[in-house]
Amino acid sequence: MLLYSTIARPVFWMVMGLIYALMIAAGPVWAEDLGLQMTWWKWLLAAIWYAILSIGIAGGFTLMGEKEPRAGQYTLGLTVVVMVILGVGLWSAL
């Protein structure tokens, strides 16, 4: 199957790394466009929020891939709810 081939897996992780790198590089431009006055602690809070979001999504889909769909759905649902709440709080702090 193509998804589990020895070529597709490294390509997937290279694309994911590229997306992460582009998002990190575009962060200052995004903040400048919105007129946000970002300090070091605001960047730290945004990075922590993004890391928790990434880990929650990766964990949920990993559980689904391990034939635990109910646990994966619960993890994704909880991650979305918590991250929306924290995201609103983070946005008001910015």
Residues 31 and 70 in one domain: no
Domain tally for the chain? 2
Query: Side-chain half-sphere of 62: how many Cα atoms within 13 Å?
Result: 6
- Can you state the percent helix, strand and coil of the chain, rounding each to 5? 85, 0, 15
Report how far residue 94's alpha carbon sits from residue 89's, in angstroms, rounded to the nearest whole number.
9
Do residue 84 and residue 48 come from a single domain?
A: yes
Same structural domain, 93 and 61: yes
Alpha-carbon gap, residue 72 to 64, rounded angstroms: 5
pLDDT tens for each residue of the chain, 94 residues long: 455 566 767 787 788 889 889 988 998 998 899 888 889 998 999 889 888 988 888 888 888 888 888 998 999 899 999 999 999 998 888 7
Task: Give the domain range for residue 87.
Answer: 38-94
The whole-model pTM stands at 0.74
Query: Cβ(3)–Cβ(61) under 8 Å?
Result: no
Please indicate, yes or no, whether residues 10 and 55 belong to a single structural domain of this protein. Answer: no
Residues 78 and 42 in one domain: yes
